[in-house]
């Protein structure tokens, strides 16, 4: 058997390439959208991708299953579980509980494991030449390392009212099925730490059934369904705004993108015209570079591992946008955007000099030190805004601060005082950099950014309250 774990750090998303070396055939489970990765793995190992499978209709990334099928002519093997409203709306091989997929000498048994979503399935792998016992379980968003998939996304992100309680109860019964599996079976989940699909995901890539029986909180609630449901639903992180669109695009027919596109460099005239027409400018530089000089109205979303997630919070799928990014960064940034379907890139500038060459001035961020922040706290005449998530704020915050989550900041501008000084902060400073740029874009002039944020505050021994 050939096995390769493919991990996208930007979305903490795992996919899998599993092949039968004797027969030279392979299956890919939950592929990301930039599918050249899997094509290259197949080429290097003299294999043909014949099967493509998904564990469920994903909400957190745009699946590359159809792109990969278009390039390889492999069959799509997708869940037909979940009932009305939970069916894929394009041609595929439908899977139900107990079905078996054969890939060379490998056997994948389908287990219906609802909870995260009604149609969720897992794949139990038996490497037939080696043993008649199953050896691996690919769980998607069912069981993670140390956690289980959240059932509230459909309600919170997609507006499907009433689904979270039903999903939590389904998850409770699916966990009982997981608990009956042999301890030695390896568990390969769809996500790791950093994903918004759970609240306590472990950082290691895989686990075993036996290990999860010992350390996963969800398996400690035997004969206590109400306690399980309550704990599963409380303190989940805010689901990114783009999740609702992913749920739709992964279910219906859509245009395919089978290669990483190139983006156009804008001339001065094109850039001037586009900004005059209100096209958003996303500055992907480091926050420390942005602070020293930025184009007024631009939004600082750094091109790091969280880039796609924050882009999904602040851009719609209908609007074009411009990137400020060096050409050497384009492949990485475009791949990250592809993975959530943000394909509407109008063009790019390599830096901010075009703005000054047009005769304009750059603005600078008002970043303050911890000593300046402490002096402001003593004055009692400044609004202090904590931009972290509600659960982070609840766990520990600075006395006197107000909580406005960065992802919903633009919907809550009425909570930010425009006629008084305001200081913003977050956990490490990245979200505060986004927040500063957004508030300046919306006309706030009295904004200061305590960039050291909670990390510096706590590390230097300052008090917090919960």
Is the domain of 199 the same as that of 121?
A: yes
Residues 461, 421: contact at Cβ < 8 Å?
no
77 occurs within a structural domain: yes
Q: Which domain holds residue 443?
A: 370-459
Is the domain of 210 the same as that of 93?
A: yes
Is the domain of 61 the same as that of 178?
A: yes
Q: Read off the pLDDT of residues 400-427 as tens digits, 9 standing for 90 and up.
A: 999 999 999 999 999 999 999 999 999 9
CA distance linking residue 198 with residue 173, whole number of Å: 18
331 occurs within a structural domain: yes
Q: Read off the pLDDT of residues 122-180 as tens digits, 9 standing for 90 and up.
A: 999 999 988 899 999 999 999 999 999 999 887 777 677 778 999 999 999 999 999 99
Is the domain of 112 the same as that of 187?
A: yes
Number of domains in the chain: 3
> What secondary structure letter does DSSP report for 267?
P
Exposure pattern of 432-455 as b/e (b: 16+ CB <10 Å)?
Answer: bbbbbbbbbeeebeebbbbbbbbe
Q: How many Cβ atoms sit within 10 Å of the Cβ of residue 264? A: 12
Percent of the chain with pLDDT strictly greater than 90: 91
Residues 196, 252: contact at Cβ < 8 Å?
no
254 occurs within a structural domain: no
Is the domain of 349 the same as that of 376?
A: no
Q: Read off the pLDDT of residues 255-295 as tens digits, 9 standing for 90 and up.
A: 999 999 999 999 999 999 999 999 999 999 999 999 999 99
User: Which domain CATH number covers 331?
Assistant: 3.40.250.10
Residues 169, 223: contact at Cβ < 8 Å?
no
Residue positions counted in the chain: 466
Is the domain of 232 the same as that of 297?
A: no
Is the domain of 245 the same as that of 306?
A: no
Question: Of 322, 357, 392, at which residue does a domain stop?
Answer: 357
Which pLDDT score, from 0 to 100, does residue 158 have? 67
Is the domain of 93 the same as that of 162?
A: yes
CA atoms within 13 A on the CB side of 8: 34
User: Which domain CATH number covers 127?
Assistant: 3.60.15.10
CA distance linking residue 259 with residue 354, whole number of Å: 30
262 occurs within a structural domain: no
Is the domain of 111 the same as that of 7?
A: yes
Q: Read off the pLDDT of residues 20-31 as tens digits, 9 standing for 90 and up.
A: 999 999 999 999
292 occurs within a structural domain: yes
Q: Read off the pLDDT of residues 345-385 as tens digits, 9 standing for 90 and up.
A: 999 999 999 999 999 999 999 999 999 999 999 987 899 99
Which pLDDT score, from 0 to 100, does residue 194 have? 81
Mean pLDDT of 46-71: 97
Mean pLDDT of 203-230: 94
Stated pTM of the model? 0.94
Which pLDDT score, from 0 to 100, does residue 395 have? 94
Is the domain of 208 the same as that of 303?
A: no
403 occurs within a structural domain: yes
Is the domain of 87 the same as that of 45?
A: yes
Is the domain of 282 the same as that of 240?
A: no
Which pLDDT score, from 0 to 100, does residue 222 have? 84
117 occurs within a structural domain: yes
């Amino acid at each position: 058997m050939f096995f390769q774990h493919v991990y996208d750090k930007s979305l903490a998303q795992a996919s899998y390439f599993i092949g039968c070396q004797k027969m030279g055939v392979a299956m890919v489970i939950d592929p990301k959208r930039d599918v050249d990765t899997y094509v290259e793995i197949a080429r290097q190992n003299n294999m043909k991708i014949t099967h493509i499978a998904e564990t469920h209709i994903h909400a957190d990334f745009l699946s590359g299953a159809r792109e990969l099928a278009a390039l390889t002519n492999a069959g799509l093997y997708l869940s037909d579980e979940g009932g009305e409203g939970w069916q894929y709306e394009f041609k595929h091989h439908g899977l139900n509980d107990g079905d078996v997929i054969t890939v060379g000498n490998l056997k994948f048994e389908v287990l219906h494991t609802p909870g995260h979503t009604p149609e969720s399935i897992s794949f139990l792998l038996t490497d037939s030449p080696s043993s008649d016992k199953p050896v691996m379980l690919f769980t998607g968003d069912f069981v993670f390392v140390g956690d289980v998939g959240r059932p509230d996304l459909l309600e919170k992100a997609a507006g499907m009212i009433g689904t979270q309680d039903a999903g939590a109860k389904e998850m409770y019964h699916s966990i009982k099925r997981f608990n009956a599996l042999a301890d030695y079976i390896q568990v390969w989940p769809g996500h790791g730490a950093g994903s918004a699909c759970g609240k306590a995901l472990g950082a290691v890539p895989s686990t075993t059934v036996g290990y999860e029986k010992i350390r996963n909180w969800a398996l400690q609630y035997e004969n206590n369904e109400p306690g399980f449901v309550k704990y599963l639903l409380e303190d989940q992180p805010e689901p990114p705004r783009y999740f609702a669109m992913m749920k739709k695009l992964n279910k219906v027919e859509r245009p395919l993108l089978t290669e990483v596109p190139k983006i156009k460099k804008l001339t001065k005239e094109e850039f001037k015209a586009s900004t005059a027409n209100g096209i958003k400018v996303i500055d992907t530089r480091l926050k420390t570079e942005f602070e020293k000089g930025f184009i007024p109205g631009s939004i600082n979303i750094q091109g790091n591992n969280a880039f796609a997630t924050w882009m999904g919070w602040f851009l719609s799928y209908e609007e074009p946008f411009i990137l400020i990014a060096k050409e050497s960064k384009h492949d990485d940034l475009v791949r990250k955007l592809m993975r959530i379907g943000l394909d509407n890139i109008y063009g790019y500038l390599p830096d901010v000099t075009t703005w000054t060459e047009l005769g304009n001035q750059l603005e600078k961020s008002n970043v303050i030190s911890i000593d300046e922040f402490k002096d402001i706290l003593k004055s009692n005449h400044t609004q202090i805004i904590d931009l972290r998530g509600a659960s982070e704020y609840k766990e520990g915050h600075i006395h006197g601060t107000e909580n406005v989550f960065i992802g919903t900041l633009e919907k809550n501008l009425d909570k930010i005082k425009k006629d008084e000084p305001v200081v913003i902060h977050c956990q490490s400073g990245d979200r505060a950099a986004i927040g500063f740029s957004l508030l300046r874009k919306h006309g706030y002039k009295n904004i200061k950014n305590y960039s050291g944020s909670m990390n510096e505050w706590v590390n230097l021994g300052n008090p917090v309250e919960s």
